[in-house]
């Protein structure tokens, strides 16, 4: 009697298709775009090696950011770093295709090199909407006139720059946010710049030179943040302005106060702020508001003001009077922060 044994056939695994094996190449286009948008430009360029579909996909990124993460070198040679950075930006802009909405250049070793002129010229030929330039070293950089041709700009941010628009400049008609820090700009140019941006909603101005009288004429302005040295500030057509943070970085001498006319700075400051909701009075600005004849309360109370922050010297009688006027004029105040200034006398 013979026994017949049946051999078991080996288990056959289902054959995976090429699409199943290469899932990363078959991600939807919008997912790839999201991944690339969250990567430093250096890593985004490296994704070209992943697959044919990813090759040069980075060249269509609409947001380009060149900061400290885009360059990883151990050398301390500033010339080497500068050349490396210039080569990277040149390479990316040369190969870039499609719309370019945002360009940010902020590297700790970046100087105001003339190469920036060439890059801005390239950007001015596109529909750039956000432009951020931060020069961390060297003298203030003067952007070329072609920057002021970027009429699609919605957000403009400049750090350590000298602003001198061409005489033909008619303003940024679509600009909604302007952030200027450590800049030099003369009085009439500043006033023309602000008044020529009819849609401007946010204005930040920090550590500036060339402007002593801040005349703010902006009908759509909602947010105003300023800190620096100036002689005067006034508002026109600012009925929508609701958030104000303002700091005066130099103390005002009592002798200067005596020389002022009797009209109240406090009254003039609030005359065109009917809907202010949040106010921060920093550094020595309360001293400025105390100039002139301060009333016991404002003729038109700040009924919308619900947050008030004041830096005050309780030993200064004028500041105390100005602060009391403010408090009496805010019937709906919900939050109050008082930062006390101390003066130490050495004996």
Number of Cβ atoms within 10 Å of the Cβ of 225: 17
**Both structure tokens of 177:** 């946010």
- Judged against a pLDDT cut of 50, whether residue 21 lies above it is answered with no
User: What pLDDT, in 10s, does the model give residues 194-238?
Assistant: 999 999 999 999 999 999 999 999 999 999 999 999 999 999 999
Of the two residues 108 and 240, the one the predictor is more confident about is: 240
> Parallel, antiparallel, or unpaired for β 335-340 and 177-184?
unpaired
- Judged against a pLDDT cut of 80, whether residue 311 lies above it is answered with yes
- Judged against a pLDDT cut of 50, whether residue 39 lies above it is answered with yes
Question: Model's pTM, two decimal places?
Answer: 0.84
State residue 78's pLDDT score.
Answer: 75
User: What pLDDT, in 10s, does the model give residues 79-113?
Assistant: 787 888 888 889 888 887 888 899 999 988 777 67
**Both structure tokens of 266:** 């406090």
User: What pLDDT, in 10s, does the model give residues 244-290?
Assistant: 999 999 988 755 555 445 789 999 999 999 999 999 999 999 999 99
Give the 3-state secondary structure of residue 242: coil
Of the two residues 6 and 148, the one the predictor is more confident about is: 148
State residue 252's pLDDT score.
Answer: 82
Give the position of tokens 């009925």: 239
Number of Cβ atoms within 10 Å of the Cβ of 227: 19
Length, in residues, of the chain: 347
**What CATH class is the domain 62-211?**
alpha beta
Least confident of 42-46, 107-111, 147-151, 224-228: 42-46
The full set of domain ranges for the chain reads 24-57, 62-211
**Average pLDDT, integer, range 286-306:** 96
- Residue-wise DSSP of 17-42: PHHHH-GGGGS-HHHHHHHHHTS-HH
Of the two residues 273 and 33, the one the predictor is more confident about is: 273
Burial of 277 per CB tally in 10 Å (0-12, 13-18, 19+) = middle
CA dist 309 and 281 (Å) reads 6
CA dist 258 and 79 (Å) reads 54
The whole-chain average pLDDT of the chain stands at 85
- Residue-wise DSSP of 272-295: T-TT--EEEEEETHHHHHTSS---
Category of 283 on φ-ψ map: left (φ > 0), alpha (ψ -120 to 50) or beta = left
Please say whether the beta carbons of 101 and 128 come within 8 A: yes
Give the residue among 305, 297, 301, 302 at the shortest CA–CA distance from 325: 297
User: 51-60, 91-100, 136-145, 276-285 — which one is most confidently predicted on average?
Assistant: 276-285
């Amino acid at each position: 009697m013979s026994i017949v044994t049946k051999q078991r056939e080996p288990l056959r695994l289902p054959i995976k298709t090429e699409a199943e094996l290469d899932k990363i190449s078959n991600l939807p286009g919008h997912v790839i775009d999201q991944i690339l948008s969250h990567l430093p430009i250096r890593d985004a360029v490296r994704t070209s090696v992943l697959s044919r579909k990813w090759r040069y996909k980075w060249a269509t990124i609409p947001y380009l950011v060149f900061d400290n993460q885009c360059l990883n070198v151990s050398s301390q040679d500033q010339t080497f770093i500068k050349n490396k950075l210039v080569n990277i930006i040149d390479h990316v802009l040369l190969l870039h295709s499609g719309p370019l909405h945002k360009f940010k250049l902020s590297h700790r070793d970046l100087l105001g090199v003339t190469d920036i002129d060439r890059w801005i010229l390239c950007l001015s030929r596109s529909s750039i909407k956000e432009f951020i330039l931060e020069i961390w070293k060297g003298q203030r950089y003067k952007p070329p006139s072609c920057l002021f041709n970027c009429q699609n700009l919605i957000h403009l941010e400049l750090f350590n720059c000298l602003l001198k628009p061409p005489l033909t400049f008619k303003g940024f008609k679509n600009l909604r946010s302007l952030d200027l820090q450590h800049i030099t700009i003369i009085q009439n140019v500043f006033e023309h710049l602000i008044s020529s941006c009819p849609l401007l909603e946010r204005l930040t101005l920090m550590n500036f030179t060339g402007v002593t009288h801040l005349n703010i004429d902006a009908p759509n302005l909602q947010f105003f943040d300023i800190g620096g040295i100036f002689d005067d500030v006034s508002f026109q057509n600012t009925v929508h302005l609701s958030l104000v943070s303002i700091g005066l970085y130099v103390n005002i001498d009592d002798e200067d106060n005596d020389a002022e006319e009797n009209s109240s700075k406090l009254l003039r400051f609030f005359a065109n702020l009917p809907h202010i909701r949040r106010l921060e009075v920093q550094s020595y600005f309360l001293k400025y508001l105390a100039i002139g004849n301060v009333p016991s309360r404002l003729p038109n109370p700040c009924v919308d003001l619900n947050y008030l922050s004041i830096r005050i010297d309780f030993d200064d009688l004028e500041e105390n009077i100005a602060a009391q006027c403010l408090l009496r004029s805010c019937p709906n105040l919900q939050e109050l922060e008082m930062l006390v200034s101390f003066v130490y006398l050495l004996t």
